[in-house]
Amino acid sequence: MNAPCIALLARFDKKASTFSTPVTAGGQLYIDAVHRAGGVPLLMPPTLDANVINATLTRCNGVLVMGGGDVDPSLYGEDKQDECYGIDNSLDRFEIAVLLAAIALDKPVLAICRGAQVLNVALGGTLIQHLENSADHSGRLHEVEVVPNTRLSQALNGTTSNGASWHHQAIKSIAPDLVCVGRASDGTIEAVEHRSASWVLGVQWHPEKTADEDPVQQSLFDALINQAK
């Protein structure tokens, strides 16, 4: 069987040190994790053209959404707070469009950190714009308790994850089509999955940061590839 092709949602940047023109880029750690899992990552440039999105997803076997800046609060009906940063409304709308199309096509999806937040907003949920204890979730490993007998517990082959946390926002109200399947010790929602789609999973931590040395974190990418086969 050919290696599954994974659409890695890339982003636009006006400059890069090795290019004299604007670039479309994807994170190397995500790419490496997909390669280790036996998949072929395909960078999907941002677009709002529904025909291009559907044509790309039709040719791909799964979708991977990276972490990044904050989601535009206007997309979930709130005014921007001072702590928000890195907002790119066009990127938000691109990722939302791809996620909705992927779910409609029943493609497996792994959405990481910002990606999990975008997934929640795309389906009608809201976000905490700034965690009061954001320092406890920034630049450290912390344990997540995972609900047994869920897609996440099956992917991790267990009910705990000690992943790299790097976020100051989190899910507030969960979208109707999602269910919480993991929380930090302080109650912060750390993982969600779709209620009816075959395999759509969002995690708040960054498994790609430690996946090269932690088989539990790599297992999330392995599960995405297994579902994409």
* 63-96 residue pLDDT tens: 999 999 999 999 999 999 999 999 999 999 999 9
* 115-135 residue pLDDT tens: 999 999 999 999 999 999 988
> Which residue numbers are catalytic?
113, 206, 208
Give the model's pLDDT for residue 32. 98
* 134-158 residue pLDDT tens: 888 988 899 999 999 999 999 999 9
DSSP states of 33-68 as a string?
A: HHHHTT-EEEEE-----HHHHHHHHHH-SEEEE---
Domains by residue range for the chain, with CATH: 5-228 (3.40.50.880)
What does the alpha-carbon distance between residue 142 and residue 190 come to, in Å, rounded to a whole number?
11
Give the model's pLDDT for residue 107. 98
Cβ contacts of 23 within 8 Å, gap of 6 or more: 12, 13, 15, 16
Give the model's pLDDT for residue 96. 98
Confidence class for position 2, pLDDT limits 50, 70, 90: confident
> Closest Cα partner for 68 from 118, 15, 17?
118
* 5-53 residue pLDDT tens: 999 999 998 878 888 889 999 999 999 999 999 999 999 999 999 999 9
* 153-186 residue pLDDT tens: 999 999 999 999 989 999 999 999 999 999 999 9
Backbone angles phi, psi at 184, to 5 degrees: -80, 170
What's the pTM value of the predicted model, to 2 decimals?
Answer: 0.97
Q: Cα dist. 133→117, 170, 191, 227 in Å?
A: 18, 11, 18, 35
Confidence class for position 1, pLDDT limits 50, 70, 90: low
